[in-house]
């Protein structure tokens, strides 16, 4: 028995930023130390990702998680008791084997990721080190933020079709500067919307609610906000987009309802390429539906030399998918979401696969979030290029940005600046 031996595992039913129940796991070690973590939840989920176990039925809109919590308290607690929390691979291996399904349907991806992350927190606490250090880093590498200014798609009742209109502080030399500049752009965007009589509140992740007549109008507004804040788009502050194209793909066509247009992959790709040029866009996520491998290859070939082509639903934080995509020339950047993979070990494997392919990496939150800041430490420990956690407002988002600010003050901390592709 050591100080990192797992003594007790329990689940707690807590609440996420959409007002839905979610799973918190609490691990108590023999030393009495406790580690906790909370599962986030997506809305525009990829079909290949780990599945959240929800109760269904009428209570809490079917989103309740009492069965997932019972799995933490029951089978999971039983198998982890006596294991070493410092041996993450062994713990995750047991969780994967105990579940026994490819998508973690039996115990629930939400139960498993909460436990997997809580184990890491407990081990770090027992060693009296911050999580980033427990994960193997000697100093934190603070990732460049990618921050949503306008929300859309599944996060805004499809008020515009595209999901995220974001900025990356491509000229920033510190996290303080990157967040300062983003704050100016967020405020400028709000002022423009107010002047035009379009101010209507915020979407799921805290970006401005998209009260626009077309998808491109949102893009124009963001471009204007960057300029109004005193920056040159494509220089200090650049635009990125998460198209989340699966969300508006049906019966073989991309249906942009806001624009009244149906498009094939080639036409959508051509439009995005024109936008990338006109609006100096530096990153585009999920520009095709999650199963459109040929479309992703064509898009990457066309634009991947000058723009990050990011796979989210397309890759679902899966090492095998990342390797296959890299071999085929689809994408040049992986979005890394721990709850898509289901365990920390599998998340790390996906991250390493992206790195091995020479890709960029973006560690990402979900649209349903909490005060949990685990991903900030993952990004800092692993040296991710970018951290994406939604907008600049709402506590579940600022919890992550504020943790980044704290990590940046640690002796030896480095800020990961933007690196142009070309």
Which residues of this chain interact with ligand PGA, rule CB under 6 A?
A: 42-45, 154, 163, 242, 244, 312, 364, 366-367
Q: How far is the CB of 31 from Zn ion (least distance, A)?
A: 39
How many other C-beta atoms lie within 10 A of the C-beta of residue 62?
11
Q: Tell me whether residue 68 or residue 154 sits nearer to ligand PGA (CB atom).
A: 154
CB 55 within 8 A of CB 98: no
Q: Per rule CB under 5 A, is residue 146 in the interface with Zn ion?
A: no
CB 131 within 8 A of CB 377: yes
Cα atoms in the 13 Å half-sphere on the side-chain side of 47: 6
Q: Tell me whether residue 88 or residue 317 sits nearer to ligand PGA (CB atom).
A: 317
Rounded to the nearest 10 degrees, the angle between the axes of helix 344-356 and helix 374-382 is 40
Strand partners, 2: none
Q: How far is the CB of 135 from Zn ion (least distance, A)?
A: 24
Phi-psi category of residue 416: left, alpha or beta, with phi > 0 → left and psi -120 to 50 → alpha: beta
- Binding site partner of 170, from Zn ion, ligand PGA, none, Cβ cut-off 5-8 A by kind: none
Q: Which of 242, 292, 385, 396 binds Zn ion (CB under 5 A)?
A: 242
Q: How far is the CB of 215 from Zn ion (least distance, A)?
A: 16
- Binding site partner of 366, from Zn ion, ligand PGA, none, Cβ cut-off 5-8 A by kind: ligand PGA
Separation of alpha carbons 202 and 118, rounded Å: 31
Q: How far is the CB of 212 from Zn ion (least distance, A)?
A: 20
Q: Tell me whether residue 26 or residue 312 sits nearer to Zn ion (CB atom).
A: 312
Catalytic residue chosen out of the listed positions 7, 24, 49, 205: 205
Separation of alpha carbons 412 and 357, rounded Å: 28
Q: Per rule CB under 5 A, is residue 49 in the interface with Zn ion?
A: no
State the residue number with the nearest CB to ligand PGA.
42
Q: Tell me whether residue 361 or residue 364 sits nearer to ligand PGA (CB atom).
A: 364
Q: Tell me whether residue 50 or residue 244 sits nearer to ligand PGA (CB atom).
A: 244
Separation of alpha carbons 13 and 22, rounded Å: 6
Catalytic residue chosen out of the listed positions 285, 290, 337, 346: 337
State the residue number with the nearest CB to Zn ion.
312
- Binding site partner of 247, from Zn ion, ligand PGA, none, Cβ cut-off 5-8 A by kind: none
Closest CA to 372 of 399, 394, 332, 346: 399
Q: Per rule CB under 5 A, is residue 216 in the interface with Zn ion?
A: no
Phi, psi at 45, each rounded to 5°: -85, 150
Q: How far is the CB of 242 from Zn ion (least distance, A)?
A: 4
3-state secondary structure 181-211: HHHHHHHHHHHHHHHCCCCCCECCCCCECCC
Question: Which residues are marked as active site?
Answer: 205, 337
Residues that bind Zn ion (CB under 5 A): 242, 285, 312
């Amino acid at each position: 028995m050591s100080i990192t031996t797992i003594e007790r595992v329990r689940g707690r039913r807590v609440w996420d930023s959409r007002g839905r129940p979610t799973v918190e796991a609490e691990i108590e070690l023999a030393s009495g130390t406790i580690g906790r973590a909370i599962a986030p939840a997506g809305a525009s989920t990829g079909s290949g990702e780990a599945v959240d176990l929800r109760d269904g039925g009428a209570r809490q809109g079917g989103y309740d998680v009492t069965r997932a919590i019972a799995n933490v308290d029951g089978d999971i607690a039983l198998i982890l008791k006596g294991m070493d929390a410092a041996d993450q691979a062994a713990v995750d291996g047991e969780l994967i084997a105990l579940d026994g399904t490819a998508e973690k349907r039996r115990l629930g991806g939400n139960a498993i990721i909460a436990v997997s992350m809580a184990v890491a927190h407990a081990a770090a606490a027992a060693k009296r080190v911050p999580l980033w250090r427990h994960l193997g880093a000697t100093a934190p590498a603070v990732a460049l933020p990618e921050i949503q200014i306008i929300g859309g798609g599944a996060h805004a009742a499809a008020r515009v079709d595209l999901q995220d209109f974001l900025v990356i502080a491509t000229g920033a030399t510190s996290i303080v500067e990157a967040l300062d500049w983003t704050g100016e752009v967020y405020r400028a965007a709000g002022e423009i919307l107010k002047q035009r009589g379009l101010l209507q509140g915020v979407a799921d992740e805290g970006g401005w609610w998209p009260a626009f007549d077309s998808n491109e109008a949102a893009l124009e507004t963001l471009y204007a906000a960057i300029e109004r804040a005193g920056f040159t788009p494509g220089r200090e502050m650049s635009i990125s987009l998460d198209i989340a194209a699966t969300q508006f793909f049906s019966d073989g066509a991309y249906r942009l309802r806001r624009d009244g247009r149906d498009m094939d992959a080639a036409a959508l790709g051509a439009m995005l390429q024109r936008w990338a040029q006109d609006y100096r866009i530096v990153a585009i996520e999920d520009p095709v539906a999650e199963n459109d491998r040929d479309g992703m290859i064509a898009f990457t070939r066309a634009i991947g030399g000058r723009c990050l082509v990011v796979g989210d639903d397309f890759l679902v934080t899966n090492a095998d998918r990342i390797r296959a995509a890299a071999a085929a020339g689809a994408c040049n950047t992986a979005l890394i979401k721990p709850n898509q993979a289901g365990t920390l070990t599998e998340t790390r494997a996906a991250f390493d696969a992206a790195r091995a392919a020479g890709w960029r990496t973006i560690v990402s939150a979900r649209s349903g979030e909490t005060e949990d800041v685990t991903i900030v430490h993952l990004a800092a420990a692993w040296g991710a290029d970018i951290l994406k956690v939604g907008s600049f407002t709402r506590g579940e988002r600022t919890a992550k940005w504020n943790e980044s600010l704290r990590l940046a003050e640690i002796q030896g901390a480095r800020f990961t600046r933007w690196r142009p592709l070309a």
